[in-house]
Structure 1
Amino acid sequence: MSIIRQNIMESAARYFSEHGYAATSIQEIADDCGIAKGSLYKFFQSKEDLFIAFHEAQQEALYTRVESIRADAALSLREVFILETECHFEFFLNNKFIMHDIKQLDASKGPIAPYFLQLRANLLKYSKEGLIRLLGEQFRPNIWDLVIMYNGIVREFIFLLLYENKPLNIKEIAVYIVDRVEEMAACIVQKKTQPLLSNTMMNHYMQCEKAGKSILIKEYRTSLLANLLSTTKELSITNFRKEELSDAITMLQEELAKESHKSVLVHALLDFVGKEHELKPIVRQLERYVCVKQA
């Protein structure tokens, strides 16, 4: 990286941190670096490009550190995941403005929106890999449920540290969270809990996030219906019952594909399919989107 580019990114980090993204101008950063505004545009075409470049550099540093932790043979798998969790806390605490930017910017509009989606996808990807390493391959069917619960807990503690200034110790928080995750995983095994978030659904979600685009409601419904069909084929029930369920799901697909579907028919079919215990979690997810016509 050239010295000028490095100076621009360091200046941008300082201005974004002190004043926020919206209140920072390209002219201020150029003046701070002692260069003309036109010279800055030789490196970054817009403030959005500069913002994204800086965040990507910070992310790269985070994931490089995580990979080095995972490569340390002297650490147990539990110690590795505790340190990974600490890294995520330190990343957001050292870059507080990232959380403020995500909270304040309208992530549904503008060129920065795809970046926020990709950031989330990367965080979920590393969480999934870390949890599988910690818990083992036997948890892969339920891994996305655990990923979302883990990230939800981490996010709430980050908010407490950033916005409420609670006197909490990062190391203690990380150990506490990993303890809770292991307990949840053990409970899933004990109760033989069926996953809410299937690999099929979440893989589609991750593909959209990595591509920097929101999932369309229509695509999401299609993914859930495909998941219903594939799960039905694996059920330990009679072939006659499988045919009944498959016919009902096919009717659902056909009705939901219409521009104006019959709500009574759709809900009747969902109730019929949802009577099968293993299909009920997917049906519940589908119920949230049957009346939504666009993303």
Structure 2
Amino acid sequence: MFYFFSLQCQIFFKRRKTLSIIRQNIIESATRHFSENGFAATSIQEIADDCGIAKGSLYKFFQSKEDLYIAFHDSQQMAMYTKIENIRADATLNSREVFILETECHFEFFLNNKFIMHDIKKMNTSKGHFAPYFLRLRANHLKYSKESLTRFLGEIVHPNIWDLVVMYNGIAREFIFLVLYENKPLNSRNIAVYIADRIEELAECIVQKKTKPILQNSLMDNYMKYEIAEKSIPVEEYRTSLLGNLLSTVKELPITNFRKVELSDAIALLQEELKKEAPKSILIHALLDFIGKEHELNNIVSQLKRYV
């Protein structure tokens, strides 16, 4: 009886290993085809033929070309993040050296996978099958950037961390585009060191001036929670978060107490009106315009206007 059970286990694990090898072969073939021809010009039949299997057999592993592309993309991302985790685990490196190597690692990833950037640029990633995937991908990238910047700059930048994340990624993205789309002969290491210097200077200036953050932690943490879970933020919850940001920002504005009371009352009226089954659009926009006259609140008000 034990021998029979042991034999069954051997057959099961051997079959599982075989399936794993076939799946890996499919992903490797997809990588070659996607890199040479792009997503649109690559067919499932070509990949199946390359792997020496029937098209129907390929669909047992991946239900569609989109699913295969996502699996391939995930494998590339996983390789990059594994490399980043190894950099972070190296005890011989200081926080600055780790940050530079991480930034360089991101650059090398995009330079070695140019076709991914070209495909993403052509795809309408805000709709259809790819939408939730690319939202999750963006959220994960922002999460890694936040961790990198916190390690590098320290907890002192926590109130402004999301502003720094956006600036860091914006600078990096422009350099990547210059290399990929305009063929500028730029060195990844030099760019990584340069970005580290500029981000450090920006952080010092923000901390010294006690700059109020544009992106509140509560707002971005909420966004990250939903995007990583591949869910959409409910409109009501998003509005509540923005209104909370308005109130907390008003309390810290360098204005008279009378003006603070005016703005707080306007926000309270706005909250009440938005809770009604049939809110009055004219009143809502009048209140938003009144609140938005305060320059420091204009950014949050602009976001709110999209959700009322």
Q: Normalising to structure 2: TM-score of the pair?
A: 0.85
Give, as a single letter, the amino acid of the residue that structure 2 aligns with 1:176: Y
Partner of 1:138: 156
Higher mean alpha-carbon deviation, 230-239 vs 253-262, is at 230-239
Question: Tell me, which stretches of 5 or more residues in structure 2 are unaligned?
Answer: 1-16
**Aligned mate of 1:285, from 292, 299, 306:** 299
State how far apart, in whole Å, the 2-side matches of 1:273 and 1:241 are. Answer: 13
C-alpha displacement of 1:36: 0.5
Q: 1:164 to 1:86 in 2, by over 3 A?
A: same
**Aligned mate of 1:35, from 26, 47, 53:** 53
The residue matched to 1:73 in structure 2 has which SS?
coil
Kept in 2: contact 1:221–1:286 (CA 8 A): no
The residue matched to 1:160 in structure 2 has which SS?
helix
Q: Deviations over 1:25-76 (max 9, x none)?
A: 1111101111100111111111111111111111111111111111111111
Q: Percent identity?
A: 68
**Aligned mate of 1:11, from 25, 29, 34:** 29
**Aligned mate of 1:165, from 173, 177, 183:** 183
Higher helix share: 2
Partner of 2:9: none
Partner of 1:115: 133
Aligned length: 289
Partner of 2:68: 50
Kept in 1: contact 2:246–2:300 (CA 8 A): no
Q: Deviations over 1:180-223 (max 9, x none)?
A: 10111111122221000000110111122212245566543332
Kept in 2: contact 1:252–1:266 (CA 8 A): no
Kept in 1: contact 2:156–2:207 (CA 8 A): no
C-alpha displacement of 1:254: 2.7
State how far apart, in whole Å, the 2-side matches of 1:141 and 1:197 are. Answer: 9
Q: Does 2:86 align with 1:68?
A: yes
Higher mean alpha-carbon deviation, 9-18 vs 215-224, is at 215-224
Partner of 1:253: 271
Kept in 1: contact 2:178–2:184 (CA 8 A): yes
Question: Tell me, which stretches of 5 or more residues in structure 1 are unaligned?
Answer: none
Q: Normalising to structure 1: TM-score of the pair?
A: 0.88
Q: 1:256 to 1:5 in 2, by over 3 A?
A: same
Q: Deviations over 1:128-149 (max 9, x none)?
A: 0010111110100000000000
